[in-house]
Chain A
Amino acid sequence: MLGKKTRNIGTFALGLVLAIAVYLIPGMTGIADAKEAFAEQVFAEEAFAKEVLAEEAVEGEGEPEIEWGQDVFYKDWEGNPLKGPVSGYPAPELGPEDYNNYEFAPSRIILWVANQQHLYFGSFVLAVPIFCMLIEFIGIRVREEDPVMSGKYDRLAKDLMKVSLTAYSWTAILGGILLFTFITLFPGFFKYMAGIFRPVMHVYALMFLAESGVLYVYYYGWDKMNDDPFLKWVHCSLSVLLNLIGTVLMYLANSWATFMQAPGGIDSEGRFLGNIWHVIHSTLWNPVGVHRILGNIVFGGGIVGAYAAYHYLTAKNEEERAHYDWVCYVAMFICIFGLIPLPFAGYWLMKEVYAFRQQMGITLMGGIMAWLFIIQAVMIGLLFFAANSYLHNGMARVKGSHRYMKYCKYMVLLLICCFTMWMTPHTIVMTPAELKAMGGAQHPIVGHFGVMSAKNTAVNLMITTTILCFLLYQRANKKITVPWATVGNCWIAAIFVGAAANIIFLGVYGYALPANQRVGLSVPQVTTTLTTLFAGTAINISMFKNSESYGDIQWGTQSKVGTYAIFLLAISFTWLMGLMGYIRSAVRLFWHVTEVVRDNSVDAYTLTIGEAGKMLTFNTLFVWTQFVVVFWVGSLTGKSPVKTPVAVPVPAQQQQ
């Protein structure tokens, strides 16, 4: 797949599937277990607290002085608010003295820029080690049978790590800027957050130190640990450790944002109730974490893809063109694999948002943020178009792809139909005359596409089409020889046709149900799509056993449209990431911490869509300007050569 060996396809694809499953399954299937465990934990905590109180009552002077507060989110096993000992101060009523500002821009905008830039870089430096881990692992696995390919993987992983190293320092600097921005412009709010998260912030700083240490050993020890097979495995293990620490770092930082959006572990006055885990592990913590990991993978893939696409365009010779074409493919492969499950993680997040506060969910999907979700729909459509465009164009350079190219136009047609449905708004702002002319806020025909039944159907069909396109790409240069080829093909066809029929049926059926029940249909629709992903990929890969090749992929012949499709994907995803971050944050409306700390600054309003759009574009352009600088700095030390045996120097005397 990533090179010449069919076997690699299976290894890499299965590796990715497993990696995604490892991230998703515990979060999505472990909820029931977690609830039970939570009930037990709550019981134990309360029993412990009672014991402590009883002891104090015995030892001390009569009644214990501990005050008990009711948690704003956590419930006990009977559904009553969980009680905890009050261990902090009430949330402050912020006044003008708690906000500072500069004249050139509102504080909120400055903070937004600082935050977003840090997040973009943070995403990148967290994603690259995931890539390097996978790529280095594949390199080790193919070392014996194809040393050249193995060296190529190793070089790619190291080159990516080199870029990441510069980006890592940059991220830390941006983090410092963000911290100072918080402290200087929002001192009152930051004081409250620091009071609650004091230990988490210190652990975060220590984890950063650990991350730096492992990163430096991992990168600078690359060559020294490259030759000995055992040391190479140790080196690869370091990448696992690096990713683990990185994930913990991200989850710790996420806890601040998720606490602000859906707090837990405090009472209604904002007083900390003594359990830091409750504060960290608020209701949105897990879905945001999973969503961000997948988002980071896609974003990282987009950046590496754009980096490689740029080098592909500037390549001086065929060898370089072939190399960067291949790197583009690897990056896009990872990117698309992250992109496919991303909407499902989004569903999970939104489900939890609705569970936390229904009106927050409705503000997002049907209130003031609804238009932003239409924009999101457009962006997701762009992403899928870009991904499919790359696959279609990439397929053209694969010998044997003529068998499947004829289907591309139908897939594009389907994508266009779904995209149109996906971006149709439920209602739009109109003049009274327009409203009267249309006979209501919803168009009598097109209006039907504005509801979630149609939208879920559309996006699931788009994802299914992309999966199909990807499977065709995988098998483009393969002549299937397994005896059960016909059966396998029938199964794949049946899975996709059945999936499409089921998705459409559920979508249509949704119109017959009330809105609150209709929402539940998204689960079987998503399950259907995931089935096509996992079952389709598994059958497809199984059919490659002993397959014959129509010829190697002609690396270095990628069309310019395909190259620019990668750029489009990278820009779209950067913009989309900013948009979704804005939506997630802005849904707090006029609260710093939802329902606990009110934003009393002059910037407490929600921006118009146009203002937000301009900021998103600025953030996108600004971060890419920085990426260009970082890549340029990274390139100053030159590329890692593919290691070749070094000739033993001969003394001059012997030459004579």
Chain B
Amino acid sequence: MLPEQHDILFSFLSIVFAVFGVFVFGNVVLNCRERELSGGKMWGGVFGIFAIASFMMTVHMFSLNQGEQLSFFFSIYIWLIIVLLLTWGIFFKSNNIESQSPPIIRGFFFWTTVSVLLAGYTNWLPQQRSDPPPKEAAVVGDVTMEEFAEMGRVIIFGAKQVAGQKSIGKGQCPLCHTFDPGDHMGRCPNLFGVEKRSHDRIKEDRYLNLPMKIGETEPASGIVKGMPADIPEEYRRQNGPEELIGEDYIRESLMCPTCYVVTGFGKAGDTKSPMPVIVKPPISLSRVELNAVVAYLQSKDTPGEYASVTVPLPQDDAGNTGGAVVEEDSGGDEDAPTFVTGQEDIQAMINTLGCPLCHTIPGVEGAMGELGPKLHEKINAPKRIKDPNYKGNATNTKEYVRESILKPSAYVVYNEEAGESFPDGLMPTTFGQMLSVEALDKLVDFISQTEAPAGS
């Protein structure tokens, strides 16, 4: 759900509570008639007010966005229902309350409480959204080997890492492989020292003969084992010697995992590898991506040292058709959709979203952008809401800030220094898709409190 959309669960609950309010009203009226109570009109009035209030609150829920709905539901609406229940209890006092409230109501509250607690439990756990990987990683112009190897690392581990959680990139390698010395999860070989092993392995008898001999074709991948010249052209090595080298072994392992299976890690008597062919779906690495992964694997055991890397850089690669090389102005990482969960600290959130590029934000280190207005919203927001040119719906600072993030064109700030408005349409309108509800709330809370530093 996008932040500006309704929360489907709490919208539903508010409707149900409105129906409940009407039900209680009807129940009390019927009861008053049966018991011929003297204060029947008074009770009817009280519960009528409850029914109307719950109806009004439900209507109000639909004018709020997701975050506001949650806040309103738990801060106001739920209390109305609790007070309604208490008042209903008082109405039935010393009159066998349990038999007066129908089992459907008890069942309903039991049902709702258990279900909402389960939803609460899931929200208490760590939240992580997984975005689809870009179809093909992009390379910005000429890159250094360090940057190229880093690209390989991101393909393996992803750009964002969370402490204590396995980080998995487009290549999905860490699902099964480990990379540090001594680390072993038992699914697939540890890749520490793979660069050195790659040179030795191609000379081993086991490699030469098992599970197939050099020169045989592996059916699933279509790769001819141990023949770098027969690798499909789009992935074939263009530089270096004609004979088999360590780089070829690593490439072959990625493109044809069953060509050689490390003892103890295969299926059917170590004749088949469980690993997917990395250049086919679902991974589908391109030539540049595959080379980047090889570069990372060849260099990862010697941080800062790239002498052992034999794959060419994209700009020097004769076989690179340029499919993955893009213009300077769209960076590689930026191709991956950005999403902020709210678990990050505010500085990291703001940097991830790129706000400092355009805005000066007090309290955020390095946020000195001048393309957009300075964010001194504690003072400025109330003034702008009162501005006759303001056409938005906000009634307070937080609502204004939220609106400005989600719908930047709702109010375009006038740049007094330049004597004209800041350019409309410059600020992205996609922040709704980049922020979780929690993240948006956190951001709004922070920006609502920003003000010019003392003395400025």
Q: Which residues of A contact B (CB under 8 A)?
A: 79-81, 103-106, 109, 113, 268, 310, 313-314, 357-359, 362-363, 366-368, 371, 374-375, 378-379, 427-432, 434-435, 441, 514-516, 518, 564, 567-568, 571-572, 575, 589-591, 594-596, 598-599, 602, 604-618, 620-622, 624-625, 628
B341: which of A104, A595, A599, A608 is its contact (CB, 8 Å)?
A608
- What's the minimum C-beta distance from A293 to chain B, rounded to whole angstroms? 25
Do residues B176 and A605 form an inter-chain contact, with CB atoms below 8 A? Answer: no
Q: Are B175 and A363 in contact (CB under 8 A)?
A: yes
Residue from the list B110, B172, B281 in contact with A596, Cβ < 8 A: B281
Instruction: Name the one of B7, B128, B265 contacting A516, with C-beta atoms under 8 angstroms.
Output: B265
Cβ of B219 to closest chain A Cβ, rounded Å? 4
Q: Identify the closest chain A residue to B281 (Cβ).
A: A595
Question: Cα distance A158–B420 when bound, in Å?
Answer: 78
Q: Is the CB–CB distance between A606 and B118 below 8 Å? A: no
Segment touching A, from B99-107, B199-207, B398-406: B99-107
Complex: chain A residue closest to B124, CB-CB? A610
* Chain B residues with CB under 8 A of A591: 282
Task: Considering the complex, give the chain A residue whose CB is closest to the CB of B174.
Answer: A367
Of B8-16, B87-95, B138-146, B247-255, the segment with at least 4 beta carbons within 8 Å of chain A is: B8-16
Those 4 A-B pairs whose CB atoms lie nearest each other, nearest first: A613-B122, A515-B186, A590-B132, A595-B281
Contact flags (1/0) for B162-180 with A, using CB distance below 8 Å? 1111101000100110000
Which of A310, A314, A594, A612 contacts B282, CB < 8 Å? Answer: A594
A101 to chain B, nearest CB (A): 11
**List of A residues within 8 angstroms of B337 by Cβ:** 605
- Which one of A368, A428, A609 contacts B164 once the chains associate, using CB atoms below 8 Å? A428
Instruction: List residues 54-112 of chain B with CB under 8 A from any CB of chain A.
Output: 102-104, 106-107, 110-112
17 A–B pairs (Cβ distance < 8 Å), ordered by A: A106-B1, A358-B275, A358-B276, A359-B172, A359-B176, A366-B166, A368-B130, A375-B121, A514-B186, A515-B187, A518-B186, A604-B131, A608-B341, A608-B436, A616-B119, A621-B115, A625-B16
Q: How far is the CA of A427 from the CA of B162 in the complex (A)?
A: 12
Q: Are the C-beta atoms of B128 and A429 separated by less than 8 Å?
A: yes
Residues in A whose Cβ lies below 8 Å from that of B13: 621
The reply to whether the CB of B391 lies closer than 8 angstroms to some CB of chain A is no
In Å, the complex CA distance between A518 and B185 comes to: 12
Q: Does B129 contact A (CB under 8 A)?
A: yes
Establish whether residues B185 and A567, one from each chain, have CB atoms under 8 Å apart when the complex forms. no
Distance in angstroms between the alpha carbons of A431 and B276 in the assembled complex: 33
Q: What is the total of A-B residue contacts with beta carbons within 8 Å?
A: 186
Q: Which of A366, A441, A614 neighbours the largest number of chain B CB atoms within 10 Å of its CB? A: A614
Do A599 and B132 contact each other (CB < 8 Å), given the known contacts A104-B5, A310-B103? yes
With A109-B8, A571-B114, A620-B115 already in contact, the answer to whether A368 and B168 are too (CB < 8 A) is: yes
Residues of A within 8 A of B7 (CB): 614
Q: Decide if B164 touches A434 in the complex (CB within 8 Å).
A: yes
Q: Do B8 and A615 touch across chains, with their CB atoms under 8 A apart? A: yes
- A610 contact from B114, B115, B123, B176, Cβ within 8 A: B123
Q: How many whole Å from A356's CB to the nearest CB in chain B?
A: 11
B118 touches A617 (CB 8 A): yes
B433 at the interface (CB under 8 A from A): yes
The answer on a CB contact under 8 Å between B219 and A80 is yes
Nearest Cβ distance between residue A16 and chain B, in whole angstroms? 28
Cβ of B240 under 8 Å from chain A: no
What's the nearest-Cβ distance from chain A to residue B336, in Å?
A: 11
Interfacial chain A residues near B133, Cβ < 8 Å = 590
Question: Which of A80, A357, A610, A625 makes the CB contact (< 8 A) with B122?
Answer: A610
Complex interface: chain A residues within 8 A of B175 (CB): 359, 362-363, 366-367
Q: Kindly state whether residue B326 has any CB partner on chain A within 8 Å.
A: no
Interface of B with A (CB < 8 Å)? 1-2, 5-9, 12-13, 16, 102-104, 106-107, 110-112, 114-116, 118-123, 125-133, 135, 162-166, 168, 172, 175-176, 185-187, 219-220, 264-265, 272, 274-276, 280-282, 337, 339, 341, 433, 436
Contacts of B130 in A (CB 8 A): 368, 589, 605-606
Report the minimal beta-carbon distance from A389 to chain B, rounded to whole angstroms. Answer: 14
Contacts of A618 on B, CB cut-off 8 Å?
8-9, 12
Residues of B within 8 Å of A610, CB to CB, are 119, 122-123, 125, 127
Inter-chain contact B166/A367, CB cutoff 8 Å: yes
Complex contacts, A363 vs chain B, CB 8 Å: 172, 175
- Interchain CA distance A528-B58 in the complex, whole Å: 54
Q: Is the beta-carbon distance between B187 and A362 smaller than 8 angstroms?
A: yes
Complex: how many Å from CA A618 to CA B116? 9
- CB neighbours (8 Å) of B168 from chain A are 367-368
Query: How far apart sit A371 and B2, CA to CA, in the bound complex (Å)?
Result: 23
CB-nearest residue of chain B relative to A370?
Answer: B166
Nearest A residue (CB) for B274: A358
State in angstroms the CA–CA spacing of A516 and B272 once bound together.
14
A368 touches B128 (CB 8 A): yes
Of B5, B16, B129, B433, the residue contacting A608 (CB under 8 A) is B129
Residues from chain B with a CB closer than 8 A to the CB of A572 are 114
Q: How far is the CA of A572 from the CA of B117 in the complex (A)?
A: 11
A615 to chain B: which residues have CB within 8 Å? 8-9
Smallest CB separation, B431 vs chain A (Å): 14
Q: A367-B166, A613-B123, A614-B8 are in contact. Are A575 and B115 (CB under 8 A)?
A: yes
Closest residue of chain B to A572, judged by CB? B114
Which of B126, B219, B339 contacts A429 (CB under 8 A)?
B126
A357 to chain B minimum Cβ distance, whole angstroms, is 7
A591 to B219, CA, bound (A): 25
> Shortest CB–CB separation between residue B342 and chain A, in angstroms?
10
A609 to B104, CA, bound (A): 30
Q: Is the CB of A589 within 8 A of B132?
A: yes
Contact A314 B9 (CB under 8 A): no
| Residue in B closest to A374 when the chains form the complex, CB atoms | B125
Given B119, B126, B280, which contacts A614 in the complex, CB threshold below 8 Å? B119
B119's nearest neighbour on chain A, judged by CB, is A617
Is there contact, CB below 8 Å, between B9 and A617? yes
Closest A residue to B4 by beta carbon equals: A103
How many angstroms between the C-alpha atoms of A611 and B341 in the bound complex?
12
Contacts of A432 in B (CB 8 A): 163
Asked, given contacts A429-B164, A429-B165, A589-B130, whether A106 binds B2 with beta carbons under 8 Å apart, the answer is yes
Contacts of A575 in B (CB 8 A): 115, 118
**A105 adjacent to B122 (CB under 8 Å):** no
Bound together, the chains give a CA A363 to CA B283 distance in angstroms of: 14
Chain A residue numbers with a CB within 8 Å of B185 are 515
Chain A residue nearest to B128 in the complex (CB): A608
- B residues in contact with A362, CB < 8 Å: 175-176, 187
**Cβ of B33 to closest chain A Cβ, rounded Å:** 21
In the complex, A594→B431 CA distance in Å? 30
The answer to whether B129 and A314 touch across the interface, beta carbons within 8 angstroms, is no
